[in-house]
Amino acid sequence: WARTPPAPDAWRPIFKQPGTELAARYGAAGETVSVYVAYYPRQLPGSELINQQNRLVDENGPWRAIGNGKRSVTAAGSNREIRQTEIRSGRRQLLVWDWYALGPFSTVNPYVGKAVQLYRQAVDRRDDGAAVFLATEIVADKATAEARLAAFMNAASEPLDAALGPR
Protein backbone atom coordinates (compact mmCIF):
# COMPACT_ATOMS: atom_id res chain seq x y z
CA TRP A 1 0.00 0.00 0.00
CA ALA A 2 1.44 3.35 -1.07
CA ARG A 3 0.24 6.80 -0.06
CA THR A 4 -1.72 8.56 -2.81
CA PRO A 5 -3.12 12.10 -3.09
CA PRO A 6 -6.41 12.57 -1.22
CA ALA A 7 -9.60 12.84 -3.24
CA PRO A 8 -10.84 16.45 -3.44
CA ASP A 9 -14.32 15.41 -2.27
CA ALA A 10 -13.10 12.93 0.33
CA TRP A 11 -15.36 12.08 3.27
CA ARG A 12 -14.03 12.64 6.75
CA PRO A 13 -15.68 12.34 10.15
CA ILE A 14 -16.39 15.33 12.37
CA PHE A 15 -14.08 15.58 15.40
CA LYS A 16 -13.82 18.65 17.63
CA GLN A 17 -10.37 19.97 18.49
CA PRO A 18 -8.15 16.89 18.38
CA GLY A 19 -4.51 17.49 19.27
CA THR A 20 -3.44 15.90 15.99
CA GLU A 21 -5.32 14.74 12.90
CA LEU A 22 -4.19 12.46 10.11
CA ALA A 23 -6.15 12.18 6.89
CA ALA A 24 -4.47 10.06 4.23
CA ARG A 25 -5.28 7.79 1.32
CA TYR A 26 -3.44 4.62 0.35
CA GLY A 27 -3.63 2.59 -2.82
CA ALA A 28 -2.62 -0.85 -4.05
CA ALA A 29 -3.57 -2.71 -7.23
CA GLY A 30 -6.00 0.01 -8.26
CA GLU A 31 -7.88 0.00 -4.95
CA THR A 32 -7.83 2.75 -2.33
CA VAL A 33 -8.44 3.05 1.40
CA SER A 34 -8.76 6.35 3.26
CA VAL A 35 -7.45 6.64 6.81
CA TYR A 36 -8.51 9.24 9.34
CA VAL A 37 -7.10 9.42 12.88
CA ALA A 38 -8.12 11.99 15.49
CA TYR A 39 -5.61 11.88 18.35
CA TYR A 40 -6.26 13.53 21.70
CA PRO A 41 -3.09 13.72 23.85
CA ARG A 42 -5.18 14.70 26.88
CA GLN A 43 -8.87 15.06 27.62
CA LEU A 44 -9.94 18.66 28.20
CA PRO A 45 -13.37 20.33 28.19
CA GLY A 46 -14.31 20.86 24.54
CA SER A 47 -11.45 18.64 23.37
CA GLU A 48 -12.41 15.09 24.31
CA LEU A 49 -12.07 11.92 22.26
CA ILE A 50 -15.37 10.41 23.37
CA ASN A 51 -17.85 13.23 23.02
CA GLN A 52 -21.33 13.62 21.52
CA GLN A 53 -20.07 16.33 19.17
CA ASN A 54 -17.67 13.89 17.50
CA ARG A 55 -19.49 11.92 14.83
CA LEU A 56 -19.18 9.84 11.72
CA VAL A 57 -21.20 12.20 9.51
CA ASP A 58 -22.34 15.80 9.79
CA GLU A 59 -26.13 15.74 10.13
CA ASN A 60 -26.27 18.81 7.85
CA GLY A 61 -23.71 17.49 5.37
CA PRO A 62 -24.05 15.40 2.21
CA TRP A 63 -23.20 12.02 3.77
CA ARG A 64 -25.81 9.81 5.49
CA ALA A 65 -25.26 6.64 7.51
CA ILE A 66 -27.44 3.91 6.01
CA GLY A 67 -26.49 0.88 8.09
CA ASN A 68 -24.08 -0.17 10.81
CA GLY A 69 -23.07 -3.00 13.09
CA LYS A 70 -20.15 -4.49 14.97
CA ARG A 71 -17.85 -7.24 13.82
CA SER A 72 -14.59 -8.88 14.73
CA VAL A 73 -11.69 -8.59 12.30
CA THR A 74 -8.44 -10.53 12.42
CA ALA A 75 -5.41 -8.48 11.40
CA ALA A 76 -1.74 -9.29 11.88
CA GLY A 77 -2.71 -12.33 13.96
CA SER A 78 -4.95 -10.61 16.49
CA ASN A 79 -8.68 -9.96 16.71
CA ARG A 80 -10.12 -6.47 16.93
CA GLU A 81 -13.75 -5.47 17.30
CA ILE A 82 -14.68 -2.72 14.85
CA ARG A 83 -17.83 -0.80 14.04
CA GLN A 84 -18.80 -1.17 10.39
CA THR A 85 -20.95 1.54 8.82
CA GLU A 86 -22.17 2.16 5.30
CA ILE A 87 -22.50 5.81 4.36
CA ARG A 88 -23.90 7.37 1.19
CA SER A 89 -23.75 10.70 -0.59
CA GLY A 90 -25.69 10.76 -3.85
CA ARG A 91 -24.48 7.77 -5.85
CA ARG A 92 -21.27 7.30 -3.84
CA GLN A 93 -21.26 4.71 -1.10
CA LEU A 94 -18.46 4.03 1.40
CA LEU A 95 -17.81 1.26 3.86
CA VAL A 96 -16.25 2.61 7.06
CA TRP A 97 -14.56 0.67 9.86
CA ASP A 98 -13.76 2.51 13.08
CA TRP A 99 -12.70 2.04 16.69
CA TYR A 100 -11.24 3.90 19.66
CA ALA A 101 -7.55 3.25 20.38
CA LEU A 102 -6.84 3.83 24.07
CA GLY A 103 -3.24 2.85 24.76
CA PRO A 104 -3.12 -0.96 24.74
CA PHE A 105 -6.93 -1.17 24.62
CA SER A 106 -9.39 -0.73 21.77
CA THR A 107 -13.18 -0.62 21.75
CA VAL A 108 -16.13 0.54 19.68
CA ASN A 109 -18.32 1.16 22.71
CA PRO A 110 -18.14 4.76 24.00
CA TYR A 111 -19.15 3.70 27.54
CA VAL A 112 -16.40 1.08 27.67
CA GLY A 113 -14.06 3.69 26.21
CA LYS A 114 -14.87 6.15 29.01
CA ALA A 115 -14.29 3.39 31.59
CA VAL A 116 -10.93 2.55 30.00
CA GLN A 117 -9.99 6.23 30.10
CA LEU A 118 -10.81 6.40 33.83
CA TYR A 119 -8.79 3.22 34.46
CA ARG A 120 -5.80 4.56 32.53
CA GLN A 121 -5.99 7.89 34.39
CA ALA A 122 -5.97 6.09 37.74
CA VAL A 123 -3.35 3.43 36.94
CA ASP A 124 -1.11 4.92 34.24
CA ARG A 125 -1.79 8.64 34.75
CA ARG A 126 -2.60 8.78 31.02
CA ASP A 127 -5.75 9.81 29.22
CA ASP A 128 -4.62 10.04 25.61
CA GLY A 129 -6.48 8.19 22.87
CA ALA A 130 -7.52 8.23 19.24
CA ALA A 131 -10.43 7.51 16.97
CA VAL A 132 -9.34 5.48 13.94
CA PHE A 133 -11.34 5.28 10.71
CA LEU A 134 -10.71 3.24 7.57
CA ALA A 135 -12.98 3.86 4.57
CA THR A 136 -13.28 2.51 1.05
CA GLU A 137 -15.71 2.82 -1.85
CA ILE A 138 -18.37 0.15 -2.28
CA VAL A 139 -18.18 -0.32 -6.04
CA ALA A 140 -19.23 -3.86 -6.93
CA ASP A 141 -20.48 -5.21 -3.61
CA LYS A 142 -19.98 -4.86 0.12
CA ALA A 143 -17.99 -8.12 0.39
CA THR A 144 -15.33 -6.76 -1.97
CA ALA A 145 -15.08 -3.55 0.08
CA GLU A 146 -14.81 -5.60 3.30
CA ALA A 147 -11.99 -7.68 1.78
CA ARG A 148 -10.17 -4.48 0.73
CA LEU A 149 -10.41 -3.01 4.24
CA ALA A 150 -9.29 -6.32 5.76
CA ALA A 151 -6.25 -6.47 3.44
CA PHE A 152 -5.30 -2.89 4.31
CA MET A 153 -5.84 -3.47 8.02
CA ASN A 154 -3.68 -6.59 7.89
CA ALA A 155 -0.88 -4.60 6.25
CA ALA A 156 -1.24 -1.48 8.42
CA SER A 157 -2.30 -2.96 11.76
CA GLU A 158 1.15 -3.23 13.34
CA PRO A 159 2.33 0.28 12.32
CA LEU A 160 -1.00 1.78 13.43
CA ASP A 161 -0.90 -0.02 16.78
CA ALA A 162 2.74 1.00 17.31
CA ALA A 163 1.89 4.64 16.58
CA LEU A 164 -1.22 4.65 18.79
CA GLY A 165 -0.18 2.22 21.54
CA PRO A 166 1.25 3.01 24.98
CA ARG A 167 3.56 6.01 24.93
**Listed residue (14, 19, 17, 39) closest to 103, CA to CA:** 39
Is the Cβ–Cβ distance between 135 and 36 less than 8 Å?
A: yes
Model pLDDT, residue 166:
56
pLDDT digit string, tens, across residues 119-136:
988 998 888 899 999 999
Model pLDDT, residue 167:
46
Cα–Cα distance for residue pair 43/51, rounded to 1 Å: 10
- Which 3 state secondary structure label does DSSP give 67? strand
Is the Cβ–Cβ distance between 142 and 86 less than 8 Å?
A: yes
Model pLDDT, residue 165:
63
- In the chain, which stretches have pLDDT less than 50? 167
Cα–Cα distance for residue pair 24/6, rounded to 1 Å: 6
Cα–Cα distance for residue pair 18/83, rounded to 1 Å: 21
